[in-house]
């Protein structure tokens, strides 16, 4: 009777091992399907890549810095013009 019980346990262990293998395969397959579906949805939404986003952000930062630099330059030139106009108005009076 001992040999029959051992054989039942061996068969049960083999069955559990096979079930675990199948479960792992199903999990992997589900992950692959979900990943491909997510990639498809993102492609359809026309989402930008991280590299594209970073490039546009860098261009925007550079443009903002240039705009601020030019605004300061314009303010400086306007102040100089105002001083010249004031000096010219003072000499003609």
pLDDT digits (tens, 9 = 90+) for 22-77: 889 899 999 999 999 998 988 888 888 899 999 999 999 999 999 999 999 999 99
Looking at residue 92, its pLDDT comes to 60
**pTM for the full predicted model:** 0.48
Structure tokens at 50: 């991280």
Residue boundaries of the structural domains of the chain: 1-47, 48-93
Q: Which of 32, 31, 54, 34 is nearest to 42 (CA)?
A: 34
Can you tell me the distance from the alpha carbon of 61 to that of 22, in angstroms, rounded to the nearest whole number?
Answer: 52
Looking at residue 4, its pLDDT comes to 64
């Amino acid at each position: 009777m001992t040999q029959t019980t051992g054989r039942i346990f061996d068969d049960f262990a083999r069955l559990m091992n096979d079930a675990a293998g199948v479960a792992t395969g199903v999990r992997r397959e589900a992950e692959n399907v979900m990943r491909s579906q997510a990639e498809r949805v993102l492609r359809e939404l026309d989402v930008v890549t991280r590299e594209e986003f970073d490039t546009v952000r860098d261009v925007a930062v550079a443009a903002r810095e240039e705009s601020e630099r030019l605004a300061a330059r314009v303010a400086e030139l306007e102040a100089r013009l105002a001083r010249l106009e004031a000096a010219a108005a003072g000499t003609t009076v």
